[in-house]
Amino acid sequence: MTDALNILLTQNFLIRALVVGVLVSLCCALLGVSLVLKRFSMIGDGLSHVGFGAMAIACVANIAPLYFALPIVLVAAFLLLRMNEKGKIKGDAAIALISTGALAVGVMVTSMTTGMNVDIYNYMFGSILTMSNDDVVITSVVSAVIISLFVLFYNEIFAVTFDESFARATGTRVSVYNMLIAGLTAVTIVIGMRMMGALLISSLIIFPAVTSMRLCKSFRSVIISSTFVSVLCFIAGLIFSVEYEAPTGASVVCVNICVLLLFTLIAKINSTVKSIHVKRFTVILTVIVFLTLICLPSAFSQAQLSKKEKLTVITTGFASYDFARQIVRDEGEVVMLLSPGEESHTYEPTPSDVVAVRECDVFVYGGGESEVWAERILSGSESTTTVVKMMDAVELHKHNHDENEHYHEESEHEEYDEHVWTSPVNAKLIVNEICDAVCSVDSYNEELYRLNAEKYLSQLDELDAQFRMLSENAEGKYVVIGDRFPLRYLMLEYSFDYMAAFPGCSAQVEVNPVTIAEINTCIKNDKIPVVFKVDLSSGTVARSISEETGANIDTLYSCHVISADDFENGETYISLMTRNINALKTAFGF
Amino acid sequence: MSLISCKNICLSYENNKVITDLSFTVEAGDYLCIVGENGSGKSTLVKAMLGLKETSSGHLHFGEGLKKGEVGYLPQQTTSQKDFPASVFEVVISGCVAGKRSIFYSEKHKSLAYENMKKLDIFHLRKKCFRELSGGQQQRVLLARALCATKKLLLLDEPVTGLDPVVTSELYSIIRSINRDYGITVIMVSHDLHSALKNASHILHLNKNKYFFGTTAEYTESEIYKSFSGGDCND
């Protein structure tokens, strides 16, 4: 307990997460009861998808997402309500229409860009750990308004929720209060989305209410119980995610599931048992089990605030990890955040990752679109970490640089490619940067680090020479990559001509069929023997090209993330790049 | 002046005219039963009397200082109420919601709720959960709520649907005593013609374009009654 609490209360970013989370949970719990009882649960879900669509558009159009999404979600809420009342389209169908429609628009807009996918991904799954001070202020103000409106109109909300026709008949302005509930829900969802994500926010609305309804017998007790359940589940989920390095949003929902099951079980026992004493006993038992559930993760505490004496270097991907490893060797600890085999573009830091980054000596990251979170962690931090941004160490290329491309794809968005290390020449620049950073932190071992770096640089020179030799013989040849394309810097450095199925490496969902058709024609016409996939990709596009053309599939390594097997076997940047050389030789028919 | 006076009103439901040219009056203290076949416009008429529906023509007038919203209404039960977690007290006092001026209920409202629960003999149930009560008890709770909303007029929409005979007759006698002892005018939509004849002072019979309005005694003599009750005349 103490460790987790220690981390929770000493790290400002976690305190911010805690404040925002508790407030959002509170609002969700209050509104959830009314929504669930009015059979409006799915409105919350529908609105969160609308919110996602709006956020996607806002990201692309470069408008502040919150201010753009809020009015749109509000309008959608009123629209849903109207559809429900008018009854032209049945409520559930209306919600499904609007929610899937908005989701489709969101995905559509997302696919038109290559740059901001990660921001949008954040709105899908939430990123509670990257709350800024502004977020805290906005959330506090908005939830204060929501909570006071709810308290002010508590009796009216009860009357409207319990029996709309009676309330209407006795002169209560039912539609006004329905709009109030829908409006408050819309606002709650928009502010909650940043934290929980569009996919999970509606669970915060529904779970506590349903859970409390298992046991509570009056409206007021349901409201009170669900605020407690909601807030406690959030705190428990947050502690759990700190302890076990689990994603926060999903942890909160999982705790909610457990509590729901627990309450259901107790309701079952209560309905079979008649004795009032036993009933009281079970209620007390609930509270105890509930509290234990929250404390349990902490009891088996794993998280430790590292007491470091040695130098620690944290890198995001494998290439930089290997570079740092070659320089530091036994004198310090090098940690890679992306564990072997993990999907790089959708990575979210866990609380302990954030703490680790802030407390390490040197942090190396790419700085591209998939690492927006890194900048958020570092901004406003009072940490003393020395930071190396690889993209600052080299000369950058845009995603759609057309000089040497056999084909270039259409896209107006010009984003810099983040996979700078794929060229050995860049690798040398990065190694120098890392070496400087490490030496500045640990000057005692400077001589050793410089020596290690020197040795490693000469190995990289050798690699460079091999690529150059390959390049000289590759006149008129070109490489076909039926996959995402993280190897731009490698290709451009050695003037390899290439065709790629995707313009870049972003998590774009669909492949353009025209591009594939062109690739197929070229392979057939020029009798290209090999179509490449990138390591750790599913290779579906390469496979379909191979089936169409008969070209063999081979793998190129981006060194962004390493596979678990390769990591076990101690592969390095150089060994993986040597594989690339051999693969290219085969492809060129040498 | 009458409590409610209807003059040549026409009502339509989803663009179909269901009631044309209907006139009747309700005096304070009356017990009016509205009977008729399904689809004859009973519920639409109730909505109009509650002010939830505009008349397409004619006049529907409230008299004796009765304002819209001062009608105690007992709606047909909806499915969502069946599993609603609310205590009896919470349900009953929600009848005061339209009348309250402050943010929360005042002591006056609370004592009104207590009084009405006592009237209907559900005071001992006030902390119980509404959804766990029997059908008859639930109707009494909703009746107590309706009494909280009015001092003059109760509008009941098929209050005995789904109740067993014993509970039904209990509920009827409660409604009768509300009418007689507390002087509250009762308008009830009912399928149960026999009880209507037994309890009501006036009958409004709605049939496709054929209406009857008069005292119960007049009604039993009318053509429309004879054709409507048909073979049941022997009872």
Per residue in A203-246, pLDDT (tens digit) is 999 999 999 998 888 899 999 999 999 999 998 888 888 777 77
Last-in-domain residue among B134, B149, B164: B149
Nearest to B75 among A158, A165, A213 (CB): A165
Last-in-domain residue among B95, B122, B149: B149
Q: Look at residue A510 in the predicted model and tell me its pLDDT.
A: 65
- Any bridge partners for residue B13, and if so which? B16
Same domain, A489 and A550: yes
Same domain, B17 and B55: yes
Using a CB-CB cut-off of 8 Å, the residues of chain B touching A213 are 83, 85
Supply the range of the domain harboring residue B94. 79-149
Mean pLDDT of B1-21: 81
**CA–CA min distance B73, chain A (Å):** 6
User: A321 and A362 in contact (C-beta within 8 Å)?
Assistant: no
Pick A280 or A588 by higher pLDDT.
A588
A36 and chain B in contact, CB less than 8 A: no
Q: Look at residue A227 in the predicted model and tell me its pLDDT.
A: 94
Report residue A407's pLDDT band, with 50, 70 and 90 as the boundaries: very low
Summarised one tens digit per residue, pLDDT across range A64-90 is: 778 888 999 999 988 888 877 776 667
Q: Look at residue A358 in the predicted model and tell me its pLDDT.
A: 79
The amino acid at residue B32 is L
Same domain, B17 and B28: yes
Summarised one tens digit per residue, pLDDT across range A180-193 is: 998 999 999 988 88
Mean pLDDT of B211-223: 83
Residue B34's nearest CA partner among B164, B157, B162, B179 is B157
Report residue A508's pLDDT band, with 50, 70 and 90 as the boundaries: low
Q: Check which CATH number belongs to the domain holding A213 and give it.
A: 1.10.3470.10
Last-in-domain residue among A255, A279, A299: A299
Interface test with B, best of A162, A216, A270, A274 (most B CBs within 10 A): A162
Q: Tell whether A306 is covered by a domain.
A: no
Query: What is the rounded distance in angstroms from the CA atom of residue A213 to the CA atom of residue B122?
Result: 23
- Any bridge partners for residue B33, and if so which? B188, B203
Query: What is the rounded distance in angstroms from the CA atom of residue A298 to the CA atom of residue A295?
Result: 5
State the total domains in chain B.
Answer: 2
Is 80 exceeded by the pLDDT of residue A504?
no
Pick A43 or A11 by higher pLDDT.
A43
- State whether A218 and B97 contact (CB < 8 Å): no
Q: Tell whether A304 is covered by a domain.
A: no
Q: Check which CATH number belongs to the domain holding A318 and give it.
A: 3.40.50.1980
Query: What is the rounded distance in angstroms from the CA atom of residue A480 to the CA atom of residue A528?
Result: 8
Summarised one tens digit per residue, pLDDT across range B61-76 is: 887 666 666 788 888 7
Same domain, B235 and B156: yes
Q: Tell whether A107 is covered by a domain.
A: yes
Same domain, B168 and B142: no
- State whether B75 and A217 contact (CB < 8 Å): no
Mean pLDDT of A1-22: 74
Same domain, B121 and B192: no
Per the prediction, chain B carries an average pLDDT of 83
Q: Look at residue B221 in the predicted model and tell me its pLDDT.
A: 81
Q: Look at residue A307 in the predicted model and tell me its pLDDT.
A: 47
Whether the model pTM is above 0.80: no
Q: Look at residue A402 in the predicted model and tell me its pLDDT.
A: 42
Select, from the ranges A7-11, A27-31, A535-539, B65-69, the one with the highest average predicted confidence (pLDDT): A27-31
Same domain, B163 and B235: yes
Mean pLDDT of A307-324: 83
User: A22 and A16 in contact (C-beta within 8 Å)?
Assistant: no
Per the prediction, chain A carries an average pLDDT of 82
Same domain, A151 and A230: yes
User: A497 and A406 in contact (C-beta within 8 Å)?
Assistant: yes
Same domain, A555 and A538: yes
Give percent of chain A above pLDDT 70.
87
Q: Tell whether A42 is covered by a domain.
A: yes
Using a CB-CB cut-off of 8 Å, the residues of chain A touching B100 are 155
Mean pLDDT of A299-326: 73
Q: Output the CA torsion A358→A361→A364→A369 (10° steps).
A: 10
Residue B101 buriedness (CB in 10 A; 0-12 / 13-18 / 19+): exposed
Report residue A401's pLDDT band, with 50, 70 and 90 as the boundaries: very low
Query: What is the rounded distance in angstroms from the CA atom of residue A232 to the CA atom of residue B192?
Result: 53
Element (H, E) at A129: none
Q: Look at residue B235 in the predicted model and tell me its pLDDT.
A: 40
Mean pLDDT of B84-108: 84
Summarised one tens digit per residue, pLDDT across range A135-163 is: 889 899 999 999 999 999 999 999 888 88
Q: What are the helix (H) ranges across A411-561?
A: 424-441, 446-473, 488-493, 513-526, 540-549
Last-in-domain residue among B149, B168, B202: B149
**CA–CA min distance A250, chain B (Å):** 29
Query: What is the rounded distance in angstroms from the CA atom of residue A509 to the CA atom of residue A507?
Result: 6
A167 and chain B in contact, CB less than 8 A: yes
Supply the range of the domain harboring residue A360. 311-455
Query: What is the rounded distance in angstroms from the CA atom of residue B91 to the CA atom of residue B147?
Result: 12
Same domain, B85 and B29: no
State the total domains in chain A.
Answer: 3
Q: Look at residue A418 in the predicted model and tell me its pLDDT.
A: 83
Nearest to B81 among A162, A170, A222 (CB): A162
Query: What is the rounded distance in angstroms from the CA atom of residue A456 to the CA atom of residue A329?
Result: 11
Give percent of chain A above pLDDT 90.
21
Is 90 exceeded by the pLDDT of residue A27?
yes
A383: left (phi over 0), alpha (psi -120 to 50) or beta: beta
Same domain, A423 and A548: no
Which pairing describes strands B202-207 and B31-36: parallel, antiparallel, or unpaired? parallel
Report residue A444's pLDDT band, with 50, 70 and 90 as the boundaries: confident
Q: How far is CA A459 from CA A165, A315, A383, B158, in A?
A: 81, 21, 34, 91
Q: Check which CATH number belongs to the domain holding B224 and give it.
A: 3.40.50.300
Q: Look at residue B79 in the predicted model and tell me its pLDDT.
A: 62
Summarised one tens digit per residue, pLDDT across range B157-195 is: 888 887 888 888 888 988 988 888 888 899 999 888 888
- State whether B84 and A162 contact (CB < 8 Å): yes
Mean pLDDT of A547-576: 89
Report residue A278's pLDDT band, with 50, 70 and 90 as the boundaries: confident
Q: Look at residue A294 in the predicted model and tell me its pLDDT.
A: 64
Same domain, B66 and B156: yes
What are the phi and psi torsion angles at A286 (to 5°)? -55, -50
Q: Look at residue A193 in the predicted model and tell me its pLDDT.
A: 86
Interface test with B, best of A154, A170, A172, A177 (most B CBs within 10 A): A170
